[in-house]
Structure 1
Amino acid sequence: MANSVSGVAVNEECVKVFQELRAERKHRFVVYKMDDDAQQVVVDKDSAGDTPRSKIFFIHWSPESADARNKMLYASSTEGLKKELDGVQIDVQATDASELTLNILKDYTT
């Protein structure tokens, strides 16, 4: 496991599944989360199947309703995770669902 700046480790499966998404196109998306003990970032779920795509987005979801401590922990852990995921093309930070509409995401690709 790789360590992030926050001290929260990145589970090796996170990188493996990302490489399957990037190089082998085995997944359409991957969802990462902090484990229940807030000790490491792990794979929550991923979609199977070879899918066409042109860009790899990294979306960091941090709702405004989250408490400040969790926001800070997730922000610092996100930086550690992104360092492990070579090939992310577009980085999006969102605090509300309105920031993740299809039209907004399309704007990132133009």
Structure 2
Amino acid sequence: MSAAQVPGAEGKRTYRFIIYKIDEKKKMVVVEKVGEPVLNYDDFAASLPANECRYAIFDYDFVTEENCQKSKIFFIAWSPDTSRVRSKMIYASSKDRFKRELDGIQVELQATDPTEVGLDVIRGRAN
């Protein structure tokens, strides 16, 4: 498996988000979509397919109560209830190995529906 650069790693903001999918024929994780730094959470959420599993990296910018600008890198295991059972099993069994290949992950989320990866959840986990 190969991983693209995590957004924000090494001080370079390359992407706001990266969506990965497992190519079942090649048996490897591939980049499906990248979001430019100017995009926001809504663009990211709209990129997650409603009925298919994905891995995602999201670079979340926020301001602390002390008025400091911060950023957290989220790893999201997206596994909707409506996705195929086989797909859910493949993604679940590959997640830890794939995540080890990524540098800079600060928060991990597992989500089965959009409410579990909503902006309020991201915001709450970032602090």
TM bin, normalised by shorter chain, reads 0.7 to 0.9
Q: Which protein is richer in helix relative to its size?
A: 1
Contact 1:64 1:96 in 2 (8 A): yes
Q: TM-score, normalised by structure 1?
A: 0.76
Q: Determine which of 38, 44, 49 is the counterpart of 2:32.
A: 44
Q: Any stretches of 5+ residues in structure 1 without a counterpart?
A: 1-9
Runs of 4+ in 1 over 3 A off after TM superposition: 49-53
Q: TM-score, normalised by structure 2?
A: 0.67
**Paired residues, number:** 97
Residues 43-85 of structure 1 show CA distances to partners (whole Å, capped at 9, x for unaligned) of 1111234788310000110011223322111011111110101
Comparing both chains, which one has the higher relative contact order based on Cα–Cα distances under 8 Å and sequence gaps of 6 or more? Answer: 1
Root-mean-square deviation over aligned CA pairs = 2.1
Residues 1-48 of structure 1 show CA distances to partners (whole Å, capped at 9, x for unaligned) of xxxxxxxxx12xx2x432x64122111111111115151001111123
Q: Any stretches of 5+ residues in structure 2 without a counterpart?
A: 39-58, 62-70
Contact 1:32 1:42 in 2 (8 A): yes
CA gap 1:86/1:17 in 2 versus in 1, 3 angstroms? closer
Question: What percent identity do the matched residue pairs reach?
Answer: 39
